[in-house]
Every structure is written in C-alpha cells, then in structure tokens.
Structure 1
C-alpha cells in the first residue's frame, strides 16, 4: 500500500512540473484561436502575453506550494510510523492549493476572453467543444 501511494504521489509531482512548464501561452495556443476563425492582431497577441505574465507569478507560486506539500507527504510516507491524520491534512491543503491554481487559470482565461467580441467567443467555444 505504501509503495502504491508513493508511486501515485510521484505521478502527481510529474503532472505539476508539466503544468508549470507549459503555462505560458505559446503559438499552439494561438493556433486554436486562428483555427476557430478568430483573427488575432499583433496588439492582441502582446496583450494576451501580458495578461498571461500577470498571472504566471501567482500560478508558479501556487505550483511551488503544491510541490512542497507533495514533498511533505512523501516524507510522511517514508516514516516508520505514518501519521494518517497528518497525511489527511496535507491532502486537504493540497486540494485547496489546486483549487486556487484552477481559479487563477480561469481568471486568466476570462481576462483573455474579455479581449474578444461575443461572436468571437462563441466561435472559440464552438471550436473547443466540437472541433477539437
């Protein structure tokens, strides 16, 4: 059981690192907008990147805190006598931080969507739901 938990935690750590490295809006993300039929001016690209950078600091901080909690959980599982109450508390802390991360990303997305007209937003949503 202990080995299974350690493997699961390692997988979550890898996912967290992947999310941290790929948070910045890149050309592939912009391609989704162009594929949806939304024209993106150079000014909008710069604005999108500046919005992303605004949220990047908070997102990285939250991911760092999640990684710290993961390390605490790993340390707890390495102990001879595992304190399940402590593990439970750490898991709740991690879930709260993950909710903060999701909220930060959603706030960033909404700020980016505010740059587009209602018609463009409809095209983006349609593309994401049906074409992808």
Structure 2
C-alpha cells in the first residue's frame, strides 16, 4: 500500500513545491482582465470557460499544499468552493451541483450551501424541468 501511495504522490506531483506568488499573480491578472466591462461583453464564452476551469486549478494547488503539510491549502480549498458555487449558478443541469455541494460542505461554508440549496430549489420548481407524467 505504501508503494501505491508513493506512486500517487509522484504521479500527481504532490511533493513538488508550488510558487504561490506566481500562482496568485496569474489568478489576479486573469481576474482583472475578465472583470473589465469590455471583456465581459466581448469574451463571454472565455469568461465561462475560465470560471469553470478555476476550481480545478485551485483544487490542484490545494491538494498539493495539503500533502506538503502547508496550512495555506485551506485558502485554496475555500477559493475553489466559492468559484465552483458561483460558476454553477446558472448551470442547466442539477447533476453538476453534486460535487459543488460536497466541496461547500467540506469547507463548511454555510453561505455557499444555502446558495446551492436555493439553486437546487429553482431547478426543481422550474416548469421546464417538471415531467408531464
């Protein structure tokens, strides 16, 4: 079992140190670029792709830091939960909320869980989603 764990750590590069400054700089630059009104109107598809991808990139950082014993990991776990929740606010499928719910519960963010419950209720009460049977 120990060999399998070591193999997973090597494969997923959990033992590699992260450049936190570079990571934060990239995140901030991307956010400022897309937060400008002109870009929001012009590149709306790219904004959606970026927002849907951010949880995965911050989640990987969070896992790496967690395996390295760095308490900074919780900031990245929380950031992932927030972006994932807001990224799925207008999603067409309720199924996509499963992972988001798990994440919000994991980081114990009641405000995010409440928001996800509201989103779920809007799915369940939307006439388009009700069956004719």
Considering the TM-score relative to the shorter chain, is it more than 0.5? no
TM-score norm. by structure 2 comes to: 0.32
TM-score norm. by structure 1 comes to: 0.33
Return the structure number with greater relative CO, CA threshold 8 A, min gap 6: 1
Structure with a larger share of its residues in helix: 1
Structure with higher Rg: it is 1
